[in-house]
Amino acid sequence: MLLILFFPCFVLFKTSRHIFTEVVSAPITTVAIVFGAGLNALGGPSDVLQDRLTVAADLYYQGKIQTILVSGDNRVEGYNEPQVMFETLTEDFYIPIEDVKIDYAGRRTYDTCARAKSIWGVDHALLVTQAYHLPRALWTCTTLGIESQGVSATLQPYLKDLWFRVRELGALYQMAFDLYFSSPSFIGGDPIIDLDL
């Protein structure tokens, strides 16, 4: 029972040394994985997602990575999160289109990590997301076979920050269930490219 109660604390403790709050401190690797975080009413990136893309672009221009893998949801017609992420990076941040790869089936953190490993051949990555989400992202990707370090994209206070943190507590328990008990299916397919090459 105590193990269950303290599991979130254990995850936070174990992942803390793999989290970097500044781009300049992040290690050099090949790929950055950017997790989707919703679109705003105008169809552009939400504030949370915009900050993730800003940090990813910063990593690219500081020579920390060579490729950015954007992963998000596009299940609903007219809602294409990864395409917006791609366009923002290539049109607003001027990242060369050949250096941004799109994963259209990253419906949640588990899917993004599983597909990065099995479809995109990612073995090492910098994970770009907010500080509250990084422990879960790191634990998930690492458990699924990606040697991961996290770079915080918390660049401002967010209107729903308290809600994000509370929700994350439940998400950590769901993560444990997925990884150790259920091994949920995800949208697979043939390997596309080995991004670690």
Lowest mean pLDDT among 15-29, 113-127, 171-185: 171-185
Q: Is residue 188 part of a domain?
A: no
Q: Is residue 6 part of a domain?
A: no
Contact 132, 168 (CB under 8 A): yes
Whether residue 61 is contained in a domain is answered as: yes
Task: Give 47-101 pLDDT, tens digit per residue.
Answer: 999 999 999 999 999 999 999 999 998 877 778 999 999 999 999 999 999 999 9
Helix (H, G, I), strand (E, B) or coil at 94: coil
* Number of domains the chain contains: 1
82 falls within a domain: yes
What is the C-alpha to C-alpha distance for residues 65 and 125, in angstroms, rounded to an integer?
9
Please give the residue that has the higher pLDDT: either 131 or 160. 131
Is residue 31 pLDDT above 90, yes or no? yes
Query: In this predicted structure, what is the pLDDT of residue 6?
Result: 75
Please give the pLDDT value at position 131: 94
From start to end of 48-119, where are the E strands?
67-71, 100-103
Sequence-distant (6+) residues with CB within 8 A of 101 are 67, 68, 69, 70, 120, 192, 193, 195
In this structure, is residue 193 part of a structural domain? no
pLDDT digits 0-9 by tens, 150-183:
999 998 888 777 776 778 887 888 898 888 888 7
Place of tokens 């500080």: 131
Summarize the confidence of residues 114-137 as an average pLDDT.
95
Q: What would the mean pLDDT of 38-53 be, rounded to a whole number?
A: 94
**Between 171 and 184, whose confidence is greater?**
171
Mean of pLDDT values over 136-151: 97
Mean pLDDT of 179-196: 68
Structure tokens at 31: 């790929």
Domain that includes residue 77, residue range: 11-182
Write out the H or E segment, with its range, that includes residue 77: none
Band (114; pLDDT cuts 50, 70, 90): very high
Q: Kindly report the number of other CB atoms within 10 A of residue 80's CB atom.
A: 19
Confidence of residue 193 (pLDDT cuts 50, 70, 90): low
Q: What is the mean pLDDT of the chain?
A: 89
Q: Is residue 170 part of a domain?
A: yes
Regarding pTM above 0.85, the answer is yes
pLDDT at 163: 74
**Residue 163 domain flag:** yes
Q: Specify the DSSP element, H or E, that contains 158.
A: none
> What confidence score (pLDDT) does residue 18 get?
97
What pLDDT was estimated at residue 191?
58
The residue among 185 and 88 whose pLDDT is bigger is: 88
As a whole number of Å, the end-to-end CA separation of the chain is 44
CA distance 146 to 81: 23
The CATH number of residue 163's host domain is 3.40.50.620
Separation of alpha carbons 55 and 90, rounded Å: 14
